[in-house]
Amino acid sequence: MENKFVFAKEIVKEAGDYILAHMQEELHIERKSSPTDLVTRLDKEVQNFLVDRIRSHYPDDQFCAEEGCLRASVGYGSVWVIDPIDGTNNFVAQGEDFAIMVAYFENGVGQFGIIYDVMKDHCYHGGGAFQACLNEEPLPNFKDKPLRDFLIASNAGMLETNAWGVAELANASLGVRIYGSAAISFSKILSGQLLTYITYLQPWDYAAASIIGESLGYQIVTLTGEPVDFQTRQPIMMVPTDKLAEIQSYIYERK
Ligand code: 2AM
Ligand code: CA
């Protein structure tokens, strides 16, 4: 597994270098499921690069990846979950606050995750048998504080409508941050800078963070408190296990 983890970090770094080398060129922006759901030619090229490199080293491995139709279930065999660019709207509009995410599973068990903030050259990696680190530095285990002393993250739409009571949780916290990227939001939880991130996400948006975070005292659950399914878009939150009950006292479906 050590070799696979080292290999994965190398190809993610190479993919980041590819983005840096090409991000000033024409991006060929297209809209997918909605006017704000963007994809560029670099999303597709980076995914193809990662999948091709993994396939050439590990021909029997399977994929669940955002662009196109690779939709293996993480429950069986050796499966890579890939988001080539998370925060594509930030990438297009700001040229920063986006990340490459890769997670690797064997028979449903997360082995490692990688979140690479390309512009900051910050690589969050580890989980499973590997220590969770930011570049070479170990990441801290969750340290408890009162809710009032923590910032939280969500998305603008859920705050606006108080979906699932997110606005009520926000009012009881130190404040809300909206980063426009699941990867960037999760990386701030992993660094101890945010308490929780509450939003609707696809499996490739949360797989890496779930594996890295588990080793530091965090879990990703649906907003009804169930395990995430790694298959469909779901309302989810990443929370410290120590704070789950307190956060759940705010987060429930208002009917
Ligand atoms: P993406 O950039 O990889 O698409 C904010 O938009 C965050 O939610 C991003 O991390 C984005 O991932 C994710 N997201 C998931 N589903 C989305 C959707 N249908 N439209 C826009 N963003 C989505
Ligand atoms: Ca993406």
67 lines ligand 1 (CB under 6 A): no
Ligand 1, atom 7: nearest CA belongs to which residue? 181
Host H or E run for residue 218: strand 218-222
The ligand placed nearest to the CA atom of residue 32 is: 1
Ligand 1, atom 14: nearest CA belongs to which residue? 201
CA 161 to chain CA centroid, Å, is 24
Query: What mean pLDDT is reported for the chain?
Result: 97
Q: Which residues of 204-224 are buried (b: 16+ CB within 10 A; e: fewer)?
A: bbbbbbbbbbbbbbbebbebe
pLDDT tens-digit map of 6-17: 999 999 999 999
pLDDT tens-digit map of 47-95: 999 999 999 999 999 999 999 999 999 999 999 999 999 999 999 999 9
β-pairing, 78-86 vs 62-65, is: parallel
DSSP, collapsed to helix, strand or coil, labels residue 183 as helix
Average pLDDT value for residue range 189-215: 98
